[in-house]
């Protein structure tokens, strides 16, 4: 349900965004890996399996990010992942330990296909999605 709510907000944003004025160069797996290393590896581990140096200090163990597709019937759950990373209203920052990514990201958007809809997505998070999909087991 949260993915639907988060996805709905992103679709609404899509209607208000003019991609023609923005840099359309899509982020690569390497871009996503760099973002992951800087922002996610401390908890999720360099390999994304939830075994980062800070994982032991958390009340809730970090998710193994390499099994998201397996847990979703073999399909990478891009909408759910994006919703959780960038503002799941039912699992807000204070309730979920993960850092809340700032509004400054919203100034550099790229169109990412989420459930068949081109969705304006912060460039850094679009790269992260590409990377996470690439590391699925």
Q: What is the pLDDT of residues 25-48, one digit of tens each?
A: 899 999 999 999 999 999 999 999
78: Cβ–Cβ under 8 A, 6 or more apart, which residues? 112, 114, 115, 129, 133
Q: Which residues pair with 122 in a beta bridge?
A: 109
Which of 26-35, 52-61, 100-109, 126-135 is predicted least confidently?
100-109
**pTM for this prediction:** 0.77
């Amino acid at each position: 349900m949260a993915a639907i709510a988060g996805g709905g907000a992103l679709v609404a944003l899509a209607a208000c965004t003019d991609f023609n004025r923005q840099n359309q160069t899509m982020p690569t797996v390497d871009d996503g890996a760099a973002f992951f290393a800087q922002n996610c590896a401390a908890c999720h581990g360099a390999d994304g399996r939830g075994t980062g140096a800070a994982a032991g200090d958390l009340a809730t163990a970090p998710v193994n990010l390499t099994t998201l597709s397996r847990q979703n019937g073999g399909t990478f759950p891009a909408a759910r992942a994006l919703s959780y990373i960038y503002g799941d209203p039912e699992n807000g920052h204070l309730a979920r330990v993960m850092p809340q990514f700032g509004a400054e990201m919203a100034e550099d958007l790229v169109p990412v296909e989420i459930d068949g809809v081109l969705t304006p997505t912060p460039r850094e998070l679009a790269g992260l999605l590409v990377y996470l999909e690439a590391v699925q087991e």
